[in-house]
Amino acid sequence: MANQDTAFGLRPIGLNGAGANTTGVTQYEIAATNTNAIFQYSPVIPLAAGVIDIVGNANGGTVPLLGVLMGVEYVDSSSKKTVFKNYWPGANSVSVDTNFPVKAFVADNPNQLFMIAADGSSTDKATAQTNVFANAPMATATSGSTNTGRSTAELDISGVATTATLPLRVVGLTGDVANLDYDAAGVNYVVRLNFHHNAPCSSSDSQTTAASTGI
CB 6 within 8 A of CB 145: no
The angle subtended at Cα 55 by Cα 11 and Cα 194, nearest 5°, is 60
Q: What is the pTM of this model?
A: 0.89
Task: Identify which has the larger pLDDT, 62 or 23.
Answer: 62
Answer with the residue of higher pLDDT: 52 or 178. Answer: 52
Q: Which residue has the higher pLDDT, 21 or 112?
A: 112
- Rounded to the nearest 5 percent, the helix, strand and coil shares of the chain are 5, 35, 60
Query: How would you list the strands of the sheet with 168-173, edge to edge?
Result: 11-15, 112-117, 188-193, 168-173, 135-136
Render pLDDT for 6-44 as a digit per residue (tens, 0 to 9): 899 999 998 988 667 777 899 999 999 999 999 999 999
Domains of the chain by residue range: 11-16+110-193, 26-107
The pLDDT tens digits for 184-208 are 999 999 999 998 998 876 544 433 3
pLDDT for the residue 1: 65
Contact 107, 21 (CB under 8 A): no
Contacts of 210 by beta carbon, 8 Å cutoff, 6+ apart: 60, 62, 63, 64, 165, 195, 202, 204
Q: How far apart are CA 137 and CA 37, in angstroms?
A: 20
Q: What is the pLDDT of residue 206?
A: 37
Cβ-contact 35, 56 below 8 angstroms: no
Helices (H), the chain: 125-129
Counting runs of H as helices and runs of E as strands, what totals does the chain give? Answer: 1, 11
Phi and psi torsions of 56, nearest 5°: -100, -10
User: Whole-angstrom Cα distance, residue 16 to residue 29?
Assistant: 27
